[in-house]
């Protein structure tokens, strides 16, 4: 009996071992199949993947073009901020009045309309020799080269004393522009600058010379 039992146990053990090996082999085979399926799934490319890749490539090209465009902008900025420099009238005034005090007023005078600018230059030449002989206050230049009398910080003799060349040109230019708008727009008419209401405009000797001298430089500016 004992031999029969031992044989039975041995037979059962063999069956268990074989069954275990088969299950192990089956499990291994299943894993291999699943792995191969995964590999196959990973290797297959879909149309969606291709389209996505195309979009990425197009986006990169677009970003590169935008970057190059933005990088080129600073190169052109200095051209936009460059100053225009002196215009032809300013150059002409500087050339005529070179070395005279009025030369520094050239850019301000050139900013006025042609008739006003021409009278500013011509009257200043006649009244002060372009600033060589002009009123002063407490030893300081009044920048009044036209013999202008107004309320602006007047000197003891009644001439306006301006604080800067710009102020002088603006104040006197405004007065001349007012006269021009009233048809006082020729040297002959503008002789009233010399003598005011006392002018006879009849061609007296002093008035005629004033008109002639002012007219000479008036025409040179125009």
Cα–Cα distances (Å) from 21 to 13, 17, 54, in that order, read: 12, 6, 51
Identify whether residues 125 and 201 lie together within a single domain.
yes
Question: What is the distance, to the nearest Å, from the Cα of residue 135 to the centroid of all Cα atoms in its chain?
Answer: 40
pLDDT at residue 178 above 60? yes
Query: According to the per-residue pLDDT averaged within each range, which of 44-53, 61-70, 207-216 is highest?
Result: 207-216
Domain boundary among 81, 99, 119: 81
Q: What is the count of structural domains for the chain? A: 2
Runs of H (alpha helix) within 148-202: 165-181, 192-195
Global model pTM greater than 0.75:
no
pLDDT at residue 145 above 50? yes
Identify whether residues 46 and 155 lie together within a single domain.
no
pLDDT at residue 85 above 80? no
Domain boundary among 81, 99, 127: 81
Q: Are 108 and 166 in contact (CB under 8 A)?
A: yes
What whole-number distance in Å separates Cα of residue 193 and Cα of residue 213? 13
Domain boundary among 81, 116, 140: 81
Which pLDDT does position 167 carry in this prediction? 98
Identify whether residues 130 and 61 lie together within a single domain.
no
Which pLDDT does position 182 carry in this prediction? 96
Which pLDDT does position 205 carry in this prediction? 67
What whole-number distance in Å separates Cα of residue 117 and Cα of residue 93? 9
**Taking the chain, what is the end-to-end CA distance rounded to the nearest angstrom?**
146
Nearest to 222 by CA among 96, 132, 65, 54: 96
Which pLDDT does position 63 carry in this prediction? 73
What whole-number distance in Å separates Cα of residue 113 and Cα of residue 180? 11
CATH code of the domain containing 176: 1.10.530
* Helix, strand, coil share (%) of the chain residues, nearest 5: 70, 0, 30
Identify whether residues 38 and 113 lie together within a single domain.
no
Identify whether residues 131 and 180 lie together within a single domain.
yes
Identify whether residues 104 and 132 lie together within a single domain.
yes
Identify whether residues 139 and 208 lie together within a single domain.
yes
Nearest to 128 by CA among 143, 110, 107: 143
Identify whether residues 161 and 199 lie together within a single domain.
yes
Least confident of 11-15, 46-50, 67-71: 11-15
Which pLDDT does position 65 carry in this prediction? 74
Query: What residues make up the domain containing 151?
Result: 88-221
Identify whether residues 52 and 111 lie together within a single domain.
no
Which pLDDT does position 186 carry in this prediction? 97
């Amino acid at each position: 009996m004992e031999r029969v039992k031992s044989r039975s146990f041995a037979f059962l053990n063999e069956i268990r071992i074989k069954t275990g090996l088969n299950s192990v082999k089956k499990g291994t085979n299943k894993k291999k199949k699943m792995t191969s399926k995964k590999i196959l799934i990973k290797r297959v490319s879909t149309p969606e993947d291709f389209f996505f890749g195309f979009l990425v490539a197009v986006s990169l090209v677009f970003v590169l073009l935008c970057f190059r465009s933005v990088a080129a902008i600073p190169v052109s900025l200095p051209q936009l901020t460059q100053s225009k420099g002196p215009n032809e009238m300013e150059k002409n005034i500087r050339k005529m009045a070179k070395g005279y005090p009025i030369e520094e007023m050239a850019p301000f005078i050139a900013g006025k309309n042609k008739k006003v600018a021409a009278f500013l230059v011509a009257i200043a030449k006649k009244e002060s020799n372009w600033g060589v002989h002009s009123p002063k206050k407490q030893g300081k230049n009044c920048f009044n080269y036209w013999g202008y009398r107004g309320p602006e910080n007047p000197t003891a003799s009644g001439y306006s004393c301006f604080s800067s060349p710009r102020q002088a040109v603006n104040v006197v230019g405004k007065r001349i522009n007012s006269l021009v708008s009233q048809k006082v727009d020729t040297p002959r008419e503008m002789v009233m600058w010399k003598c005011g209401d006392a002018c006879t405009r009849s061609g007296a000797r002093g008035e005629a010379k004033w008109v002639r001298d002012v007219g000479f430089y008036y025409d040179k500016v125009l």
